[in-house]
Amino acid sequence: MSLNRISIKYFVRRPETIDPGDFIPVFQKWIQNHTVEGLLIDVVDYKHVYQGPGVILIGHEVDYAFDLSEGRPGLLYTRKRALQADLRDALHDAFRLALIAAEKIESDGALHGISFDTSEVIVSFHDRLLAPNKPETLDLVREDVSVALQAIYGDANFEIELASDDPRHLFSIRVVVPKADDLPTLIARLDAGVPVSS
Amino acid sequence: MAANSWKEILDGQMPEDWSHEIDIFEGQMELRRQGKLDEKVFAETRLRRGVYGQRYDNGQRHDGIQTQTLDFPSGDLTKGPNTVWDAPGMQRIKVPFGGLTPDQLDVLAQLAEEYSDHILHVTTRQDFQLHYVHIEDTPDIMRRLAAVGITTREACGNVVRNVTACPLAGVCRDETFDVSPYAKAMTFFLLGHDDTQDFGRKFKVAFSGCGDNPCGLVKMHDLGLLAKTKVIDGEEKRGFAIYVGGGLGAVPHQAKLLTDFLPEEQILPLSQAISRVFARLGEKKNRNRARIKFLVSQLGIEQFRRLVFEEMESLPEDVRWTEFIEDAHQHVDNPLKSGSSLNGQTPLEGFTEWYATNVYHQRQAGYHVVTINLPLGDISSHQAYHLADIARKYVGDNIRTTVEQNIILRWVAGEDLVALYRELKAIGLGEPGAGTIVDITTCPGTDTCKLGIASSRGLAGELRERLTAKSATLPDAIKDLKIKISGCFNSCGQHHVADIGFFGNSRRAGNYKVPHFQVVLGGQWDENAASFGLAFGAVPAKAVPDVLDAITERYVAERERGERFQAWVSRLGKAEIRNMLEPFMNVPDYEVDPSFYSDWGDSRQFSIGDIGVGECAGEVVSLFSIEIAKAESQIFDAMIALDEGDYQAADESAYKAMLLGARALIRTQLLDVSEDPDDIVQEFRTRFYDTELFYDKFAKGKFGRYLFARHENPTVNPDEDSAHRLIEEAQLFIESCHDTEARVNGVIVA
């Protein structure tokens, strides 16, 4: 299955302590310093929208956002254009870049000790043509997602479920990993591994 | 298994002609990719499909320190002049008279999630816009919209734009009759019509149901239709007063009355005749003078009227002119529920405040219009899904967008208001204050617009937050004031028709550029935008909240009983208003307060482009500052004269202001220029106009030509209209002098 548009969302801990506006200078700095991979274009401020997309760093291939949707703030990494044709590789790549971005955010002093909860992640597929939001789609991608998750979380147990049963919504999967490692460990595991389809 | 393409899956669900047009557009995209279609031709082609450019699409962006090249993978491939193929763009989506269904809202939300940034933006023309869209996604966006009855055709480009109408049409207590079916008929009559394909510029049409209320704004449109009835041969006939040649833009024009009553069966042939005259005689080469307002002004309304009605006589008969009329007379909305009363329900916290500002009693007993107050015109995809469900539950298909960038639900039964409020509040759409001072209108400004100079959305967001925080204590006198903000002089935020308007510009302070906003006061939203405000001076962007406080506090303190804001501005007088603003005009040194050197909502140091370093800048700036201040003082004299009804003096002062501005600029190169107007104009032309130093990136030499036009053709017997217009032109000329000086002499930080 070839899906180009994938997003990964990790939620922040203690969201009430975070001012979304603090992400504006951080993302502007990322553009100045080419902090993350890909062509970065602009920063958009939607923090005035209730539980909206927050503050977005718009890129050509990828967007990064401090996303406020559903009242659960977090880092939303959105792959808009394909780097990998294979879904497993695409997922592996998306997780890798999302985690790297999360780590950079955690280590940015301007964000006052922000930290991410790695025990829950939402994976969404922004393509209703190829991935309508229904259980059959989950059946189609379950194995690829599981392989990608094993590459990140190792032997930890995880649960996968549809995030929403509304057929209008994006096909999204909620992954819960009760005993998840912290960010550096997950990144190290990914770096040590090889692309999952190899 | 899912289908392979949206084209395949939606086959048969789209109107055949719309589907075919989208296929053609997709083919043109391929031709452009192969270099077989000229970039200018393709640019107009895509604009006519609503596919618009966005800021930084020239492949460059200033990051606050330096200009970065945006190395898009498409390389040299362009989708228009200086417009890189891969650069994100905007998709404008036409919503005729703002009419929308829940199913359409669902699809819009889905498109925002898949192709854009999860936001649907409502515009001041009742359109939707999706931003950061890749051009290669646009055919599928169009197909998915077409399948629910929405076309993006002619949403941009030199064509008839979205036909707007009062969102209360059909339920308004004051209207003459429901204009919605007429707006719909005109939309689809003019859409793609042969006679609307050869305009020099865009053409905007609006319908209004009554003369007193502002909702239709017909007097600021290229073509405005105001519902009227007339007894003819003992029978009441429907028709319209027709206005032409209005418009905002850099220099606003009040529309002229073409005829005070046109029978309903003639509105489509009249629109066709106007289109033909505009296409035939309108300016084509100079886009800055190509709107129909310039043609009407040039010909005079009498001559224009004669040409249009002669043209109408010559048109071949078309059944579409009248076939909609029977339906129009029979047209009624279908409420989902029976009308009922609110009485007896336990109010929720915040309900009373929301009810006071966001609920309108329809003329149909037991029904209400509820306004959903969207911050900066934005609604998220999640909110849109919920809102679609709420609409299905309470009002069915009776949703509309408004020109104040809100959404309304019509035909809400009284007994549902409390439950509806609860559900809206749960998704963040239950904010009170619709149509009040917190409900600020703004164009996209520097967020996404290529022409934006300052951050209108950033400022609007800041003002909204501050005003909302103190909304409970705001004096009643200012609660209903309108604030409208544009990112540049082009007035997409409609600052000219606000009580308090702002438009973005920039000023030089030392070796830096500083974002500023001109303060525009006294515009009139009522009576269909009956008069325009004037600019009183530029203040730093970061000073605007304090300026707003100063203006509103003084209004509250000094207004006479029942005195409206516009009347107070007029009574206070321009000199006193200027005095009030002057303390806010100074910019602190960078070292003292660097925040003034960044725009609202943007941490980057402010920039309007890549300007080099000039070593002699300090001295030259000092001289220029002194000289240009004379021009600004002179323009102020012009405004005073206009206030006093001395139009001759206003005209002459505005002209002198331009001469002083030109002279200030010339003296940065030639100190010994005389004060003779001929010398000044000649030197200005040679040194700044012919060399294109005075050229604005987008307006080109337009502002320079304001000086030449007045110098070569002095106004004979200036009237209020012409004097007002010359003052607006002089202000733009002086703004351009500031820009030119900064550009030519350079600043350290671009």
Contacts of A56 in chain B (CB under 8 A): 117
In this prediction, residue B3 carries a pLDDT of 59
Contacts 24+ apart (CB under 8 A), B249-253: B249/B291, B249/B293, B249/B490, B249/B491, B250/B489, B250/B490, B250/B491, B250/B699, B250/B702, B250/B728, B250/B732, B251/B725, B251/B728, B251/B729, B251/B732, B252/B220, B252/B491, B252/B496, B252/B532, B252/B728, B253/B293, B253/B296, B253/B297, B253/B725
> Mean of the per-residue pLDDT values for chain A?
93
Dist CA B728 CA B180 (whole Å): 35
- The pLDDT of residue B538 is 94
Q: What is the mean pLDDT of residues B228-246?
A: 95
Judge contact between B278 and B293, C-beta under 8 A. no
Given the DSSP bridges, would you call strands B205-208 and B223-232 parallel, antiparallel or unpaired? parallel
Consecutive H or E run containing B391 = helix B381-394
DSSP string, B680-718: HHHHHIIIIITTSTT-BTTTBTHHHHHHHHHHHSPPSS-
For position A55, what pLDDT does the model report? 98
The interaxial angle of helices B180-190 and B267-281, nearest 10 deg, is 40
CB contact at 8 A, B657 and B631: yes
What's the rounded mean pLDDT across residues B429-451?
93
Q: Do B285 and B311 belong together in one domain?
A: yes
Mean pLDDT rounded to a whole number for chain B: 91
C-alpha span between B536 and B58 (Å, rounded): 34
Chain B: closest CA distance from residue A92 (Å): 21
Q: With a CB-CB cutoff of 8 Å, which residues 110-169 of chain B face chain A?
A: 110, 113-114, 117-119, 131-132, 134
Q: Which two tokens stand for residue B424?
A: 């809206």
| H or E segment and range at residue B367 | strand B367-372
Which of B65, B380, B405, B407 to mutate to test binding with chain A, by most A CBs within 10 Å of its CB? B380
Of residues B459 and B620, which shows the higher confidence score?
A: B459
Within-domain flag for B156: no
pLDDT above 70 covers a percentage of chain B that reads: 96
Confidence of residue B694 (pLDDT cuts 50, 70, 90): very high
B305 — pLDDT class (breaks 50, 70, 90): very high
Q: Which of B90, B105, B118 to mutate to test the interface with A (most CBs of A within 10 A)?
A: B118
The residue written with tokens 């816009």 in the block is: B129
Measured in degrees and rounded to the nearest 5, phi and psi for residue B117 equal: -120, 30
Residue B114 and residue B57 in one domain: yes
- State the CATH number of the domain containing residue B134: 3.30.70
User: Is pLDDT at B615 greater than 60 in this prediction?
Assistant: no
Domain range annotation of chain A: 6-192
Check whether B750 has a pLDDT greater than 50.
no
Residue with tokens 């012409």: B722
Which tens digits make up the pLDDT trace of B329-339? Answer: 999 999 999 99
Q: How far apart are CA B340 and CA B474, in angstroms?
A: 33
CB spacing of B379 vs A49 below 8 angstroms: yes
Measured between CA atoms, how close is B427 to chain A, in angstroms? Answer: 7
A vs B: CB pairs below 8 A: 111
Which one-letter amino acid corresponds to residue A130?
L
Contact A128 B56 (CB under 8 A): no
Q: Given a cut of 60, is residue B295 above it in pLDDT?
A: yes
Verify that B241 and B302 share a domain, yes or no. Answer: yes
Retrieve residue B166's tokens. Answer: 């009062």
Cα B255 to Cα B628: distance, rounded to the nearest angstrom: 33
Q: B311: closest CA among B281, B260, B276?
A: B276
Nearest residue, CB atoms, B119 vs list A32, A46, A130: A46
Is-contact B516 B503, C-beta < 8 A? Answer: no
Instruction: Read off the amino acid at residue B355.
Output: Y
pLDDT of residue B328 exceeding 70, the answer is yes
- Could you tell me which residue, B214 or B288, shows the higher pLDDT? B288
Question: Whose CA is closest to B106, among B386, B334, B410?
Answer: B386
Contacts of B300 (CB under 8 A, 6+ apart): none
Residue B600 is assigned to a structural domain of this protein = no
For the ranges A109-113, A149-153, B489-493, the one whose mean pLDDT is highest: A149-153
Q: Do A58 and B380 touch (CB under 8 A)?
A: no
For residue B74, what is the DSSP state?
T
CB atoms within 10 A of CB B72: 18
- Locate all alpha helices (DSSP H) within B147-234, ordered by sequence: 180-190
pLDDT band at residue A83 under the 50/70/90 scheme:
low
Q: Give B523 to chain A, closest Cα distance, Å.
A: 27
Long-range contacts of range B554-562, CB-CB < 8 Å, 24 or more positions apart? Answer: B554/B580, B555/B477, B555/B478, B556/B475, B556/B477, B556/B478, B559/B477
Residues of chain B contacting residue A81, judged by C-beta atoms under 8 Å apart: 134
Q: What length does chain A have? A: 198
DSSP chain A: -----EEEEEEESSGGG--GGGHHHHHHHHHHHT-SSS-EEEEEEETTSTTS-EEEEEESSEEEEEE-GGG--EEEEEE-S-S-SSHHHHHHHHHHHHHHHHHHHHT-GGGTT--EEEEEEEEEE--TTT--SSHHHHHHHHHHHHHHHHHHHTT---EEEES---TTS-EEEEEE-TT---HHHHHHHHHHS--TT-
**B380 part of contact set with chain A, CB < 8 Å:** yes
Whether residues B634 and B731 fall in one domain: yes
pLDDT band at B618; cut points 50, 70, 90: very low
Residue B456 pLDDT exceeds 90: yes
**Which region, left, alpha or beta, applies to residue B711 given φ > 0 means left and ψ of -120 to 50 means alpha?**
alpha
- CB contact at 8 A, B42 and B79: yes
Domain shared by B634 and B748, yes or no: yes
Note whether residue B19 is domain-resident.
yes
Asked whether residue B629 is assigned to any structural domain, the reply reads: yes
From B405, B335, B406, select the one nearest B364 (Cα to Cα): B335
- Tell me the two tokens of residue B506: 């920039």
Of A39, A70, A80, the CB nearest to B72: A39
| B160: DSSP letter | B
The residue range of the domain holding B413 is: 351-426
Cross-strand partners of A9:
A76, A122
Question: Is B70 near chain A, with CB under 8 Å?
Answer: yes
- The more confident residue out of B235 and A194 is B235
Report yes or no: B429 at the A interface, CB cutoff 8 Å. Answer: yes
Counted residue by residue, chain B has a size of 750
Asked if the Cβ–Cβ distance from B132 to A44 is below 8 Å, we say: yes
| CA atoms in the 13 A half-sphere facing the CB of B538 | 23
Q: Which of A41, A131, A168 sits opposite B385 (nearest CB)?
A: A168
Q: Which of A28, A49, A129 is facing B604, going by the closest CB pair? A: A28
Q: What percent of chain A has pLDDT over 70?
A: 95
Q: In this predicted structure, which of A170-184, B471-485, B663-677 has the lowest mean pLDDT?
A: B663-677
Q: Which tens digit of pLDDT belongs to each residue from A158-180?
A: 999 999 999 999 999 999 999 99
Q: Which two tokens stand for residue B72?
A: 């898009």
Residue found by looking up tokens 């002669």 in the block: B310
B129 and B49 co-located in one domain? yes
**B88 and chain A in contact, CB less than 8 A:** yes
What are the residue ranges of helices labelled H in B34-151? 39-47, 102-115, 138-146
Q: pLDDT at position B609, please? A: 61
> CB count, 10 Å around CB of B713?
8
Which chain A residues are within 8 Å of B439, Cβ to Cβ?
none
Q: Return the residue matching tokens 């001759």.
A: B648
| Residues B246-280 pLDDT 10s | 988 777 888 999 999 999 999 999 999 999 999 99
CA distance B410 to chain A (A): 23
Span B654-658, mean pLDDT?
95
In this structure, the answer to whether residues B745 and B636 fall within a common structural domain is yes
User: For A64, which residue in chain B has the nearest alpha carbon?
Assistant: B117
The reply to whether A108 touches chain B by the CB within 8 Å rule is no
User: Is B2 in contact with A170 (Cβ distance < 8 A)?
Assistant: no
**How far apart are the C-alpha atoms of B307 and B245, rounded to whole Å?**
14
More confident residue, B346 or B655: B655
A170 contact residues in B (CB cutoff 8 A): 113-114
CA-based torsion, B320, B324, B326, B329: positive or negative: negative
Tell me if residue B136 falls in helix, strand or coil. Answer: helix
* Residue B56 contacts A where some CB pair is shorter than 8 Å: yes
CB contact under 8 A, B65 and A31: no
pLDDT band of A6, cuts 50, 70, 90: very high
pLDDT band at B746 (very low <50, low <70, confident <90, very high): low
> B229-243, B375-389, B485-499: which has the minimum mean pLDDT?
B485-499
Which residues are within 8 A (CB) of B132 and not within 5 positions of it... i.e. 6 or more apart? Answer: A44, A58, A63, B54, B88, B89, B116, B117, B448
| CATH code for the domain of B235 | 3.30.413.10
- Going by C-alpha positions, the residue among B419, B435, B423 that lies closest to residue B373 is B435
Partners of A78 on chain B (C-beta within 8 Å) are none
| Alpha-carbon gap, residue B568 to B356, rounded angstroms | 25
- Residue B358 sits in the same domain as residue B462: no
Going B26 to B31 to B32 to B33, the CA torsion angle's sign is: positive
Looking up residue B676, the CATH number of its domain turns out to be: 1.20.120.330
The 3-state DSSP class for residue B338 equals: coil
Q: What are the tens digits of pLDDT across the range B356-411?
A: 999 999 999 999 999 999 999 999 999 999 999 999 999 999 999 999 999 999 99
How far is the C-alpha of A140 from the C-alpha of A73, rounded, in Å?
A: 29
B420 and B448 together in one domain: no
Q: What confidence tens digit (pLDDT) does each residue in A144-158 have?
A: 999 999 999 999 999
% of chain B at pLDDT higher than 90: 73
Question: Do B421 and B441 belong together in one domain?
Answer: no
Tokens standing for B87? 């650069």
Chain B interface, best mutation among A47, A61, A128, A166, by max B CB count within 10 A: A128
For the record, the structure tokens of B158 come out as 């030199």
Contacts of B119 in chain A (CB under 8 A): 46, 49, 52-53
Question: Are residue B122 and residue B50 in the same domain, yes or no?
Answer: yes
Whether B70 and B193 share a structural domain: no
ipTM of the complex: 0.96
- Closest partner residue to B601 (CB to CB) among A45, A69, A169 is A45
Q: Work out how many domains chain B is built from and give that number.
A: 5
Q: Which residue of B has its CA nearest to A25?
A: B603
Q: Taking CB atoms and an 8 Å cutoff, what residues of chain A touch B72?
A: 39, 60
Beta carbons of A63 and B117 less than 8 Å apart: yes
Q: Minimum mean pLDDT among B331-340, B437-446, B525-534: which range?
A: B525-534
For every residue of B412-477, DSSP letters joined together read EEGGGHHHHHHHHHHTT-----TTSTTS-EE--GGGT-TT--S-HHHHHHHHHHHHHHTGGGS-HH
Backbone phi and psi for residue A178, each to the nearest 5 degrees, phi listed first: -55, -35
Q: What is the pLDDT of residue A191?
A: 84
b/e code B344-359 from CB counts within 10 Å (16+ = b): eeeeeeebeebbebbb
- Give the tens place of pLDDT for each residue, B719-743: 998 999 999 999 999 989 988 988 8
Tell me the two tokens of residue B123: 């515009």
Nearest C-alpha neighbor of B310 from the set B336, B289, B281: B281
Query: In this predicted structure, what is the pLDDT of residue A84?
Result: 64
Q: Is the pLDDT of residue B417 over 70?
A: yes
